[in-house]
Structure 1
Amino acid sequence: MTADAAVTEIPLPTPARKVPSERTHHGDTFIDHYEWMREKESPELIEHLKRENAYTEAVTRSQEPLREAIFGEIRDRTQETDLSVPARKKGWWYYSRTEEGKQYGIQCRVAAEDTGDPTRDWTPPVVVPGQPVPGEQVMLDGNVLAEGKPFFSLGGLSVTEDGTLLAYSEDNAGDERFTLRIKNLETGDLLPDAVPNVFYGLAFSPDGTRVYYTVVDDSWRPYQVRAHTLGTPVEQDAVVFQEDDVALWTGFEISADRTQLLITIGCSEYSEYRVLDLAAPERGLTTLLSRDERILYDAEPLTLDGAPYYLLTHDRDAKNSMVSLVAAGEFAKPLADQAWTTVVPHDDAVRVEGATVTRTHLVLSVRKDTIERVQVLPLAGLGTPAQGVPTEPDFDEELFTSNLANAEFDSPIIRLSYTSYLTPPRVYDYVLEEGSLELRKETEVRGGYDPADYVAERHWAPATDGTLIPLSVIRRADLPRDGSNPGLIYAYGSYEVSMDPAFSIARLSLLDRGIVFVVAHIRGGGEMGRSWYEQGKKLAKKNTFTDFVDATTYLGTSGWVDAGRIAAMGGSAGGLLMGAVVNLAPEKYRAIVAQVPFVDALTTILDPELPLSALEWEEWGNPITDPEVYRYMKEYTPYETVRPVAYPRIAAVTSFNDTRVLYVEPAKWVAQLRETTTGTEPIVLKTEMDGGHGGASGRYSRWRDIAWDYAFAADAVGATAVLARSTSSVG
């Protein structure tokens, strides 16, 4: 059955009830007919979502064979029984493994040896998928923990320095409220300690007597760091720090040298560090640079020649950030009087994204020419004329991602992850003193995958204002450049988040059906540095949306794609993007897949009591206090700019327990679209009733979610069959 034929046989949806509700700000009144859907416990609302799911199933029933085919392809290409490369911490090698037929990972470890030979001691044991690992100890089996529960997700893991206790947190609803538990790894027993309603982030103190964790407030903002002392009632847990500014988030980490608790308070524009000496916590917190200085920075303590310093990655007079070395005592002085020594100078072409240390080296994460990479610099001579020059591993692909995966403080190696659009994930050990790479693993793709069958290349699309937008274009190598191919364009474009090159087994199912897959690195993301982000936020946010439309226009004239066969996809803030572009240029898209879409952003941000709303002011502006921001947002917020045009087919995919983008946003949006569209294409809402922001839990459930989204898009652009391979490639 063709896609067009399927459209003629669909049933009619049940119209949503309309209840007018007025919202007035800055002299403007908006009538919202679907705000009643926010009543999550309402039986009428539950019944409405169930009807929508039934309608969606009816509309997309013809896509079921395609969904099953894509799911099967993902499964067939995936090494289901697999292991990660063991990573050493103190006396153990830690790794995770998966088993065929099981939804969740299994966390394991084996004992390490200390022979006195650093190379031997830090070379991970060889583990082979499907073969027993001698001496293996299973710490946590997610499949056992998930039994009988509608949802399962781990929020964090931490092991004591001596390896005897494991702290972990689990979520069984999808709402990202976790329960913290402690397991004795020597006996296998759970301690009576159980802390409910914790957020992401947990860590043992170095002596193993306390667990630090974060707590969110009623609007889901992480605002407290607490300490639970093992064996004491939860009610006695100490509040180490509390942040009362509703526009700031709070997090923490243990320093690389395990001497300090580093508490971070901040937003996208400035930050503040409070530090706790873990050897003397009774001394309380010390502030490094106050938030009043309006500097965005990260801090890492280190000791040089016996003296305490901090390494600051900061934007003080450095839009793309730089790295400075500051003696610990300097922070007691006024900022103007402090002595800072430049370690990594500012560069307009290089974004410094972070820094950490081992006992011997500084490890940098930088972004250059859109590509994230890792650089290392010896600590010897740091901040002096004898300082060395940063070096980085050499890779031979144009579009790749190289990340720091692990850097144990005492290790002579750092662990790197590497991937590209064509290269499955690899794990390397980088020997710091030698500058050499040791390949530890490349993820296996079953079924005879050959990267030579595909092409990934950089294109540049001109925006209306003349800015060149980088595109990553991935396709089958044998596709003809005759303007006949279907395309799918994906983007995010917010919060300075970069859509970096990464391999995807699922994407192969689209490529093999002839779809040209394009990632648009639009403004609002971080791919081209801090200015790229700033040109796509607040009162420049519309650049994000017009960049995407301009990228779509370019794609349709590139010779690779038929302008009439383009689908678009994006999630969360990328879902807002989907709603905005389909209002701007509905005629350019055959289909839109909006995943957990933030499409009612103005309503949400106008109510600081709603989850995470106040934290959004630094990204979008504050429409509560600023009438210009209110006016500007109302001009692009998808829900409020739906207009009487022929919309393409649209799928809004959401989760009932999502705490980041509430289900009500896509529910309202779909109702408004259906009421307003002048076209006949189906507009559907699919709600995962037991899922969170990432959808259903479990890898097979996630694969089915991906297959559903991809089938919806592929069906719309007429790319349902796998293409036969040409004997010659057209590049």
Structure 2
Amino acid sequence: MKLTPPAAAPRAEKRPQPDEHHGIARIDNYAWLRDENWREVMRDPEVLDKDIRSYLEAENAYTEKALEPLAELREKLFKEMKGRIKEDDSSVPSPDGPFAYYTRFVEGAQHPLFCRRPRDAETGEQIVLDANKEAEGEAYFRIGDVDHSPSHRLAAWSADRKGSEYFTVRLRDLETGEDLDDEVPDTSPGIAWDAEGRSFLYTQVDDEHRPLKVFRHVVGTSHSEDTLVYAEKDEGFFVGVGKTQSGKWLVISSHDHQTSEIYLVPADTPETPPKLVAPREDGVEYDLEHDAPRNRFLILTNAEGAEDFRIAEAPEGAPGRENWRDVIPHRPGTLILNHVAYRDHHVRLERQGGLPRIVVRRLADGAEHEIAFDEEAYDLNMGAGYEYETRRMRFAYSSMTTPAEVYDYDLETRERQLRKRQEVPSGHDPADYVTRRIFATAADGETVPISLVHRKNIALDGTAPCLLYGYGSYGISIPASFSTTCLSLVDRGFVYAIAHIRGGKEKGYGWYTSGKRLKKKNTFTDFIAAGEHLAKEGFTSRGNIVAHGGSAGGMLMGAVSNMAPDLFKGIVAEVPFVDVLATILDASLPLTPPEWNEWGNPIESREAYEYMASYSPYDNVTRQPYPHIFALGGLTDPRVTYWEPAKWVAKLREARTNDGITLLHINMDAGHGGASGRFERLKEVARVYAFALAVTEHA
């Protein structure tokens, strides 16, 4: 089936708006698509300007008309994907004192149940929260967090009902099943309980959607009485709250993308003023865990030039940087990603040679051993659990062919107990597939890892279409993990590939820094090199690749569509950060000040401005043939505002010189993450995959 556009596409009116920085003038014809009332729109989408609403609705209608011939395929894809999900699935219960906590789904339900039962028992379930009941009558509903108190008497739960990521925290009495009168609006999702469960810390989000203040809420009081515990003065920093695994310390973390600062509050005396661990120093990151028996903190940091991080210790009573002493020295090429301290063991997740592994260290004598796997490409994650005085930890393993496996692991005996293997009800045989890890050579000689999966029986002669996924920002690494959804493409002859490009941390922290600020273009050229290599090696061919990315990965999509349009048959850009220059020039937008460390500050630096202007996807749209393009956004998205994809599509449609199709869909009831229900989300994936199949004529 070949995708053909309807006769008349929407055309946004041109309303030229001039702009000048550093003596450089720009004209933006579509700036009017940004509602000046955008803050109110985040809270109430009904107040959106009627001209903007009319245009967005016209674009949505055009997209539905264009995809109408794919209706049967979309439904088939949705049913396939749904058929690979165990609808009544549940997580492995996680013990905490007298109870074990878990989530489960009811067949046909969109949202999870949060449950507990007596520890080590198979019966006696208590439903802590039924998210389906809470979501009744809501166009959008997303649970942020459900966090039981140390006393197990209460559970704090938060929800976002607009997609704008303003969460409201409520308290549920676990004896009666009823919510208390306590209600704390405009928060980030997470909270941190004190030792007795009588109060908790939370982060308030302001009108610019910036988490800058931490308050303490006492159970049974009005949020208007809450005590301000910490206020961040730098709008470029985010604030969050947490707790050490020992449960002894509440943690207030303030950070941007390259600098962090931590304050501690004793969990048993939460009214104590927060104590600074180490003052912020530009470019120095750290977080910590508590080794209670030895009265010290274990600090993961890149201080002292430890680009791939090291772990230091410091006395509990004097945790300042002058007292940091190495426990795990810096080892270039071995990136420490995360760590957790139990009473007798210290466990860290690290990446070496691009592959993850878990290392267990016995605190009594420093003896270490590692947990690793043999596949060419795989994903490995560890969960801290709730308990501190335990020698059992949990980890999950999967690869692009192997469904997720959850293990309980004895840190002392090294015994693994398989607790759960992901079920694929419609059937899945890993032997039918091949997963590979290959390397492309970038323009400057760097090797770019590519993880891929395909059916064993396809011909690798260049005839297969390919979906190539990429992200490449903020140091986020894309795992080579199992996906039930991508099988709908793979089973139809696609090669599904992930390009581990610079801007992530797949090859260490330097892989991140060489794909940011004035080196950002490496991200784009790495992705292009990955596509070229896949074609050269016969996995696909030029012009038979659909590129896919979201958010900052959507910026990647915009950049490569400008730079190498003939390499790609189609581009799928979800919530794409494509209006880079205008957004990073606007300090009033929610995420702009924290972003300057990632992209540069074009307000203060002409060099940053000119470099950003040279790749910003919206600013570099030019008259040329473009691949088929499908852009998706969310009206209440505070991260990538809806007008970015809307402006981009308007400009693309004007500039395109070939017969390709340009589609825009704005979810009028959701934000950055798209639809909140698990099945509604699958329908969104089915729409994207139907587009990919149609443009490659594999529908």
Cross-structure match for 1:144 = 133
Shift of 1:200: 2.0
Shift of 1:293: 6.6
Paired AA for residue 114 in structure 2: Q
Measured in 2, the distance between the counterparts of 1:428 and 1:555 equals 35
Cross-structure match for 1:644 = 623
Paired AA for residue 62 in structure 2: Y
Cross-structure match for 1:109 = 116
Q: Which moved more, 1:192-201 or 1:697-706?
A: 192-201
Cross-structure match for 1:615 = 594
Say if 2:356 and 2:372, in contact at 8 Å, map to a contact too.
Answer: no
Shift of 1:89: 1.1
Cross-structure match for 1:116 = none
Tell whether 2:690 aligns with 1:711.
yes
Give the counterpart of 2:326 among 339, 342, 353.
342
Give the counterpart of 1:353 among 327, 334, 337.
337
Deviations 1:594-616 (A, max 9, x none): 00000001111111111111111
Q: Which moved more, 1:353-362 or 1:372-381?
A: 372-381
Tell whether 2:504 aligns with 1:525.
yes
Measured in 1, the distance between the counterparts of 2:446 and 2:133 equals 52
Tell whether 2:71 aligns with 1:87.
no
Measured in 2, the distance between the counterparts of 1:197 and 1:269 equals 26
Cross-structure match for 1:74 = 81
Give the counterpart of 1:537 among 508, 516, 525.
516
Deviations 1:19-42 (A, max 9, x none): 111111111111001111111521
Secondary structure, in 3 states, of the residue corresponding to 1:618? Answer: helix
Give the counterpart of 2:378 among 376, 400, 409.
400
Cross-structure match for 2:228 = 239
Q: Which moved more, 1:609-618 or 1:195-204?
A: 195-204
Cross-structure match for 1:315 = 303
Deviations 1:262-314 (A, max 9, x none): 11111222211111112233431111110137521111222244x34443443
Measured in 2, the distance between the counterparts of 1:470 and 1:372 equals 14
Cross-structure match for 2:528 = 549
Tell whether 2:463 aligns with 1:474.
no
Cross-structure match for 2:289 = 300
Shift of 1:65: 1.6
Say if 2:286 and 2:299, in contact at 8 Å, map to a contact too.
Answer: no
Measured in 1, the distance between the counterparts of 2:698 and 2:478 equals 25
Shift of 1:375: 1.4
Paired AA for residue 180 in structure 2: L
Q: Which moved more, 1:194-203 or 1:286-295?
A: 286-295
Cross-structure match for 2:151 = 162
Q: What is the 5 A alignment of 1:584-599?
A: 584-599=563-578
Tell whether 2:30 aligns with 1:46.
no
Measured in 1, the distance between the counterparts of 2:283 and 2:429 equals 50
Cross-structure match for 1:185 = 174
Cross-structure match for 1:483 = 462
Shift of 1:14: 2.2
Cross-structure match for 1:285 = 274
Cross-structure match for 2:43 = none
Measured in 2, the distance between the counterparts of 1:101 and 1:269 equals 43
Secondary structure, in 3 states, of the residue corresponding to 1:678? Answer: coil
Q: Which moved more, 1:314-323 or 1:253-262?
A: 314-323
Give the counterpart of 1:413 among 392, 398, 417.
392
Paired AA for residue 544 in structure 2: R
Q: Which moved more, 1:711-720 or 1:393-402?
A: 393-402
Measured in 1, the distance between the counterparts of 2:160 and 2:211 equals 16
Measured in 2, the distance between the counterparts of 1:217 and 1:586 equals 41
Cross-structure match for 2:195 = 206
Cross-structure match for 1:723 = none
With structure 1 as the length reference, what TM-score do the two structures score? 0.92
Shift of 1:156: 1.2
Dislocated runs of 4+, deviation >3 Å = 307-315, 329-332
Deviations 1:705-727 (A, max 9, x none): 0101111111111222xxxxxxx
Measured in 1, the distance between the counterparts of 2:239 and 2:127 equals 33
Say if 1:372 and 1:500, in contact at 8 Å, map to a contact too.
Answer: no
Measured in 1, the distance between the counterparts of 2:680 and 2:123 equals 32
Secondary structure, in 3 states, of the residue corresponding to 1:200? Answer: strand
Q: Which moved more, 1:708-717 or 1:491-500?
A: 708-717
Paired AA for residue 321 in structure 1: F
Cross-structure match for 1:728 = none
Say if 1:453 and 1:477, in contact at 8 Å, map to a contact too.
Answer: yes
Q: Which moved more, 1:583-592 or 1:308-317?
A: 308-317
Shift of 1:562: 2.4
Tell whether 2:596 aligns with 1:600.
no
Measured in 2, the distance between the counterparts of 1:284 and 1:27 equals 48
Q: What is the 5 A alignment of 1:5-24?
A: 6-7=3-4, 10-24=6-20
Shift of 1:481: 1.9
Paired AA for residue 220 in structure 1: H
**Percent of aligned pairs with the same amino acid:** 40
Cross-structure match for 1:57 = 64
Cross-structure match for 1:100 = 107
Paired AA for residue 75 in structure 2: E
Shift of 1:108: 0.7
Paired AA for residue 140 in structure 2: F
Say if 2:296 and 2:313, in contact at 8 Å, map to a contact too.
Answer: no
Question: Unaligned regions of 5+ residues in structure 2, if any?
Answer: 39-47
Shift of 1:482: 1.5
Secondary structure, in 3 states, of the residue corresponding to 1:635? Answer: helix
Does the C-alpha gap of structure 1 residues 152 and 202 become closer, same or farther in structure 2, counting only changes over 3 Å?
A: same
Question: Unaligned regions of 5+ residues in structure 1, if any?
Answer: 113-123, 126-132, 382-386, 721-731
Please report the RMSD computed on the Cα atoms of aligned residues, expressed in angstroms: 1.4
Q: What is the 5 A alignment of 1:633-712?
A: 633-712=612-691
